[in-house]
């Protein structure tokens, strides 16, 4: 196997790792958009808060002398998901619900306000500098020719792949099998009709914010462990990227968000590999503009029909 091929394989592995976490965040955007037709602007901040909670819990448990890594990760996951979901619910309650039925711009602006508020809330309570945690999951496999180029696939990356896969499986089952999932699907078809049929749509909307926040918290846990660094400003770029992924796959479509996240992650890794890495953000936002230009409904999305 040639040198360049192995390099490409390595980039694909890295890209899929990042991409799968983008996909997790993107699902939150896509679900909220699918149901109320609005962008949840504070979603990136929920992801950032999830990362912080992960660090707090892990640092706290390590400080208390706990050694079992799986247990620590499990507790961190549960707490991060719970707290981030509460934040997601609060965002819906404060910034969206009181404004339902007003001009579309109004909830969008209040959500931007919410996002600025949450970011600065974390800056004030945790400080604005980077906080680093030593890698918890270490080791991995390497293959390829040691003289030319060695491809490495770490346990951490495997962990991310597995965790993402499991979360998406659970979500898919939830949406397709459970009562609440059916209500979600019904709401995204026609929210007014669903309401008439006796479904508490307010609860469904709150539920989508909670599910989105929970997935964003999982992504926060995975990415913060992967990078080992958090700061209060990571939510902004991550939110933008995930939104790009959601649009790429077709906003409103859950499989689309998954696919979009993976494609975006790979594109970014390849850009960073063959061009100066500063331009990877430019390429992903450029990609967003190109999709909107040529295929506004995304890869798997349904074209939007304007109703009078």
Q: C-beta of 23: minimal distance to other proteins in Å? A: 17
Indicate the residue among 158 and 270 with the shorter CB distance to other proteins.
270
Task: Tell me if 101 contacts other proteins by CB under 8 A.
Answer: no
Helices (H), the chain: 3-36, 43-63, 69-91, 105-126, 155-177, 179-189, 191-196, 201-227, 234-249, 254-274, 280-294
Give CA separation, 193 vs 215, 242, 267, in Å. 28, 30, 40
Q: Which of 94, 137, 180, 270 binds other proteins (CB under 8 A)?
A: 94
Segment interacting with other proteins (CB under 8 A) among 84-92, 164-172, 184-192, 262-270: 84-92
CB of 196 to other proteins, least distance (A): 24
Kindly report the CA angle at 217 between 212 and 218, in degrees rounded to 5? 100
Interface with other proteins in residues 117-176 (CB under 8 A): 117-127, 131-134
75 binds other proteins (CB under 8 A): no
Give, in order, the Cα–Cα distances in Å from 199 to each of 14, 124, 187, 193: 43, 41, 9, 9
Using rule CB under 8 A, residue 103 touches other proteins: yes
CA distance 136 to 140: 13
What is the DSSP annotation of 261-272?
HHHHHHHHHHHH
SS3 305: coil
Candidate ranges 16-24, 82-90, 166-174, 263-271; the one touching other proteins (CB under 8 A): 82-90
Q: Which of 60, 149, 227, 295 binds other proteins (CB under 8 A)?
A: 60
Residue 278 sits in the site that holds other proteins (CB under 8 A):
yes
- In whole angstroms, give the CA distance from residue 238 to residue 244: 10
Pick from 22, 47, 87, 209: which binds other proteins (CB under 8 A)? 87
Q: Which is nearer to other proteins, 67 or 105 (CB)?
A: 105
Q: Which stretch binds other proteins (CB under 8 A): 142-150, 168-176, 266-274, 279-287?
A: 279-287
299 is a site residue for other proteins (CB under 8 A): no
2-31 mask for other proteins (x: CB under 8 A)?
------------------------------
Q: How far is the CB of 59 from other proteins (least distance, A)?
A: 4
Residue 237 found at the interface with other proteins (CB under 8 A): yes
179-189 helix and 155-177 helix, angle to the nearest 10 degrees: 80
Residues in 201-230 that interact with other proteins by CB under 8 A: none
Q: Among 24, 53, 156, 259, indicate the residue that binds other proteins (CB under 8 A).
A: 53
Rounded CA separation 178/169 (Å) = 13
How is residue 133 written in tokens?
Answer: 């945690």
């Amino acid at each position: 196997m040639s040198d360049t091929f192995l390099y490409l394989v390595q980039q694909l592995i890295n890209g899929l790792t990042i991409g799968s976490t983008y996909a997790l965040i993107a699902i939150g955007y896509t679900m909220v958009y699918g149901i109320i037709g609005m962008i949840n602007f504070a979603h990136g901040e929920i992801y950032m808060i999830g990362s912080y909670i992960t660090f707090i819990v892990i640092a706290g448990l390590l400080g208390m002398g706990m050694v079992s890594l799986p247990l620590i990760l499990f507790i961190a996951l549960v707490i991060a998901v719970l707290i981030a979901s509460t934040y997601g619910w609060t965002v819906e309650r404060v910034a969206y619900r009181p404004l339902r039925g007003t001009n579309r711009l109004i909830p969008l602006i209040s959500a931007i306000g919410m996002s600025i508020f949450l970011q600065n809330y974390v800056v004030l309570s945790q400080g604005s500098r980077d906080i680093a945690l030593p890698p918890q999951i270490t080791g991995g496999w390497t293959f390829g020719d040691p003289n030319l180029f060695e491809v490495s696939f770490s346990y951490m990356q495997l962990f991310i792949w597995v965790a993402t896969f499991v979360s998406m499986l659970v979500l898919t089952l939830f949406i397709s099998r459970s009562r609440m999932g059916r209500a979600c699907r019904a709401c995204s078809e026609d929210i007014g009709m669903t309401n008439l049929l006796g479904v508490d749509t307010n609860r469904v909307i709150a539920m989508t914010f909670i599910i989105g926040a929970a997935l964003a918290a999982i992504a926060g846990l995975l990415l913060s462990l992967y990078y080992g660094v958090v700061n209060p400003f990571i939510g902004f770029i991550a939110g933008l990227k995930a939104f790009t992924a959601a649009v790429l796959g077709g906003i409103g479509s859950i499989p689309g968000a998954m696919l979009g996240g993976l494609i975006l992650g790979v594109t970014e890794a390849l850009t960073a590999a063959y061009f100066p890495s500063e331009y990877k953000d430019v390429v992903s936002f450029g990609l967003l503009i190109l999709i909107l230009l040529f295929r506004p409904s995304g890869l798997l999305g349904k074209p939007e029909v304007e109703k009078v």
